[in-house]
């Protein structure tokens, strides 16, 4: 008889989550003290509208949700009812076809309080070939895009796989296959820091760079960055200290697909390709614990 474990259904704190899938659907899942349930579904199943990246500006009044789809279109929606506010097609370069140069990262900047009436929102996107661009979009009347945009290239060669913007929204970091983690100042569009790979070990073997996920460690401090690689390593970088990673540790055997920071600033959660979720104390690099559960696919 296989060894069985029982999983009790705990009482959840109330939460609301938005999920995006490869058919372009957006589903709203809510849990109000009981079992989470899908309460709403927006969009029609269409594989060309596969959602590649999403970002939310979660304010109390007038929140916005930006969604980047596979056909190159970026949509800005109201996350409370799914109503489509603006569609931005042909973002950034119009030279590259959307299938070749898919959008990898998307960030919707927070709007200042003063701009409540002006209905402008700013988006930062990054594609796999490294074309990053910042664009302001007007969502007042016409659902068409208009507005200035500035584009720059983030990497010379290689593919970008992950991008993040820090809490103060002045700095953005990018990393990917063959691309070291680098941090850019968004106002001046300059590269202020880029990482260096750890030295090859005593056998002379070095693993090629392939960052699959990255995040800033805390909202107010843009100097500490945690990145996960394809070779199941998690590295902590300190921008103000050195270019090599400060701490780096291994986690199981599949690529680290997701890294997020906890609100307390020294715990991170990592998810890998075979569905293992764990929390790590980043100050010591020690694994706090893995989450058991029914998750069987990659995170």
Partner 1 sequence: MGGKRKNSESEGMEGDNDGKNSNKKMKKEKTEILPSSIKNKEKRSAVHAKLKHQKKLDKRKKLKARAAAEKRALELGEEPPPKQIPRTIENTREADATVCMPDDEELFAGNDADEFSSILKHDRTPKILITTCRFNSTRGPAFISELLSVIPNAHYYKRGTYDLKKIVEYANNKEFTSIIVVHTNRREPDGLLIIGLPDGPTAHFKLSSLVLRKDIKNHGNPTSHKPELVLNNFTTRLGHRIGRLIQSLFPQDPNFQGRRVVTFHNQRDFIFFRHHRYIFETKESKQSDSKGKKAKDAKDESIAKEKVVAHLQECGPRFTLKLVNLQHGTFDTKGGEYEWVHKPEMDTSRRRFFL
- Residue ranges in contact with partner 1 by CB under 8 A: 1-7, 22-23, 25, 45-47, 230-232, 253-255, 257, 273-275, 292-294, 296-298
Identify which of residues 131 and 229 has a Cβ nearer to partner 1 in the complex: 229
Residue 242 makes CB contacts below 8 A (sequence gap 6+) with none
Q: How far is the CB of 41 from partner 1 (least distance, A)?
A: 9
Q: How far is the CB of 272 from partner 1 (least distance, A)?
A: 9
Residue 164 makes CB contacts below 8 A (sequence gap 6+) with 105, 107, 172, 173, 214, 215, 216
Handedness of CA 33, 36, 39, 41 (dihedral sign): positive
Q: How far is the CB of 291 from partner 1 (least distance, A)?
A: 10
Concatenating the DSSP letter of every residue in 40-67 gives: EEES---GGG-EEEEEEE--SSS-EEEE
Identify which of residues 8 and 264 has a Cβ nearer to partner 1 in the complex: 8
Q: Report the alpha-carbon distance of residue 202 to residue 2 in Å, rounded.
A: 43
Identify which of residues 194 and 213 has a Cβ nearer to partner 1 in the complex: 213
Distance from chain centroid for Cα 31? 24
**Interior angle at CA 55, CA 235 and CA 15, nearest 5:** 90
Q: How far is the CB of 231 from partner 1 (least distance, A)?
A: 8
Q: How far is the CB of 5 from partner 1 (least distance, A)?
A: 6
Q: How far is the CB of 207 from partner 1 (least distance, A)?
A: 11
Position of tokens 């603006």? 86
Reported residue count of the chain is 299
Q: Report the alpha-carbon distance of residue 280 to residue 145 in Å, rounded.
A: 42
Identify which of residues 86 and 162 has a Cβ nearer to partner 1 in the complex: 162
Identify which of residues 122 and 212 has a Cβ nearer to partner 1 in the complex: 212
Q: Provide the phi-psi class of 169: left if phi over 0, else alpha when psi is between -120 and 50, else beta.
A: left
Identify which of residues 44 and 220 has a Cβ nearer to partner 1 in the complex: 44
Q: How far is the CB of 6 from partner 1 (least distance, A)?
A: 6
Q: Provide the phi-psi class of 24: left if phi over 0, else alpha when psi is between -120 and 50, else beta.
A: left
Identify which of residues 107 and 257 has a Cβ nearer to partner 1 in the complex: 257
């Amino acid at each position: 008889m296989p060894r069985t474990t029982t999983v009790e259904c705990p009482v959840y704190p109330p939460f609301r989550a938005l999920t995006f899938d490869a058919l372009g659907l957006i589903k709203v899942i809510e849990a109000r003290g009981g079992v989470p349930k899908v309460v709403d579904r927006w969009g029609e199943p269409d594989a060309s509208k596969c959602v590649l990246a999403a970002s939310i500006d979660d304010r109390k009044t007038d929140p916005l949700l930006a969604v980047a789809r596979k056909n190159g279109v970026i949509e800005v929606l109201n996350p409370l009812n799914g109503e489509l506010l603006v569609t931005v097609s042909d973002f950034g370069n119009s030279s590259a076809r959307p299938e070749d140069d898919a959008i990898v990262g998307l960030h919707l900047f927070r709007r200042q309080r003063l701009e409540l009436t002006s209905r402008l929102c700013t988006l930062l996107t990054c594609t796999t070939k490294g074309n990053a661009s910042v664009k302001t979009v007007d969502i007042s009347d016409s659902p068409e895009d208009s507005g200035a945009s500035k584009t720059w290239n983030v990497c010379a060669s290689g593919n970008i796989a992950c991008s993040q913007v820090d809490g103060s929204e002045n700095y953005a970091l990018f990393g990917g296959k063959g691309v070291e983690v680098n941090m850019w100042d968004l106002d001046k569009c300059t590269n202020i820091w880029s990482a260096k790979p750890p030295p090859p070990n005593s056998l002379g073997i070095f693993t090629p760079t392939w960052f699959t996920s990255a995040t800033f460690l805390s909202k107010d401090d843009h100097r500490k960055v945690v990145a996960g690689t394809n070779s199941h390593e998690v590295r902590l970088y300190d921008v103000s200290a050195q270019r090599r990673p400060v701490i780096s540790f291994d986690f199981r055997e599949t690529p680290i697909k997701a890294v997020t920071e906890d609100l307390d600033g020294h715990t991170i959660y990592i998810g890998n390709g075979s569905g293992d979720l764990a929390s790590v104390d980043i100050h010591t690099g020690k694994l706090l614990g893995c989450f058991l559960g029914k998750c069987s696919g990659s995170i």
